[in-house]
Amino acid sequence: MNFGGGWWCTVNFLFPRGSVQNLPVGARLQLCAEVLTSLAGCRSGILALIAACGSVQEYVRIGPASESSPGVSVSDDVRLLARQMPQATGQFLGLAPCHPLVARLFGEPPVGQAHSVIGRIRWQADCDLVLVAGWRPTCLEPLEAALLARGVNACRNAVEADRGRGTAEGAGGLDLINSVVSPVIRVDERLAIVNLNEPARRELAHGGVLCEQAGRLASATCHAMEELRAAVRRSVRETGTEGRRSSIIPLTGDAGLPRFAIVAPSPSHGEDPTAVVVLPEVDEEEGARRLSALYNLTRAEEGVVRLILVGAAPVGIAAELGLTEATVRTYIKRIMLKLGINRRSEFFLLYILTMSPFRFPAGPPQARSA
């Protein structure tokens, strides 16, 4: 299963050579622009720093560009677009199809890709970060908007971290790898392990869905091994090319729980091309809350989703919640309709699509409706 966007594209940001904090501001903006444009599902993007007075202080652009109309600069167009979001709300919106200002920035949209994205978030006390990206085949969905907001926060936390930290071994790229909740393994085309974080070490030592054999990543099942090898090969060979894609491949999990591996390209920085393999781990409480917030589920529906994410069957869910099995099956059908899915395993795919890979501090509990 292939996807052109999603939070796992952010893993391309996790392996720069040296410390991100040591990069110039323009280079850090460039990294953020690449990540956010990819998360928006677009080929072209502009990321700009806009002062409180409305002037564009600095900007970077990604992908194909269009020649500006005579007398009109990129800064002017970005400033005009930013007026559509006069305050930094931390939100991202889909613009009207074939928006003329976006067309001036990126050229006329390809057939079937007439939609674009804008977002604005507070970066510093006197400066906002504005993203304009195009083109994409569909209008931005609320789920994608939430992912973009998470991506901005991840980038901001990374590039604005304390510059006083040392650059000893374990800092920089590996420090960022270790900030990822799930197991992350960086491999070459032959599946030789280049580096990995602590959750990945525990996963491989446990000998679960993936293991280490003679320094290479391996799977216990032949089918999963072939899919993993093919996905890594695609990611490695597509590195540095347009339209590179990430893959989600199914793995055999313990206790009947579906497990998936996310495979994505990793920048090579002049070295041999590599890919990253991420094994998302399910937090059923947090996952159920997130899906409930994104899809406006009721409290009862959230409870059903929580138990599905631990692998419970309808009869077990009924016993846990004090309902009949028929009622639980009705709930599941209604939830699937809301989420736009057809199979129970797709609950886990949605969990992956909506999760953040970083460890963010827990915020205060929010009020919940019944």
Q: What is the pLDDT of residues 304-341, one digit of tens each?
A: 999 998 888 899 999 999 999 999 999 999 999 988 88
Question: What pLDDT sits at residue 275?
Answer: 85
pTM: 0.53
For 232-263, how does the pLDDT look when each residue is reduced to its tens digit (9 = 90+)? Answer: 988 887 644 444 456 788 886 544 577 888 88
Supply the CATH classification number for the domain 284-354.
1.10.10.10
Question: Is the pLDDT higher at 369 or at 266?
Answer: 266
Question: What pLDDT sits at residue 50?
Answer: 86
At 25, the pLDDT band (50, 70, 90 cuts) reads low
* Span 5-13, average pLDDT: 42
Question: What pLDDT sits at residue 258?
Answer: 76
Question: What pLDDT sits at residue 120?
Answer: 86
* Span 206-219, average pLDDT: 87
CATH architecture classification, 173-278: 2-Layer Sandwich (3.30)
For 109-141, how does the pLDDT look when each residue is reduced to its tens digit (9 = 90+)? Answer: 888 889 999 988 877 777 888 889 999 888 888
Asked if the domains 20-159 and 173-278 are classified in one and the same CATH topology, the answer is: yes
* Span 153-170, average pLDDT: 49
Q: Per residue, what are the HEC states of the chain?
A: CEECCCHHHHHHHCCCCCCHHHCCHHHHHHHHHHHHHHHCCCCEEEEEEEECCCCEEEEEEECCCCCCCCCCCHHHHHHHHHCCCCCCCCEEEECCCCCHHHHHHHCCCCCCCCEEEEEEEEEECCEEEEEEEEEECCCCCHHHHHHHHHHHHHHHHHHCCCCCCCCCECECHHHHHCCECCCEEEECCCCEEEEECHHHHHHHHHCCCEEEECCEEEECCHHHHHHHHHHHHHHHHHCCCCCCCEEEEEECCHHHCCEEEEEEEECCCCCCCEEEEECCCCCHHHHHHHHHHHHCCCHHHHHHHHHHCCCCCHHHHHHHHCCCHHHHHHHHHHHHHHHCCCCCHHHHHHHHHHCCCECCCCCCCCCCCC
**Rounded percentage of the chain residues whose pLDDT exceeds 90:** 14
At 356, the pLDDT band (50, 70, 90 cuts) reads low
Domain ranges of the chain: 20-159, 173-278, 284-354
Check if CATH label 1.20.120 holds for domain 20-159: no
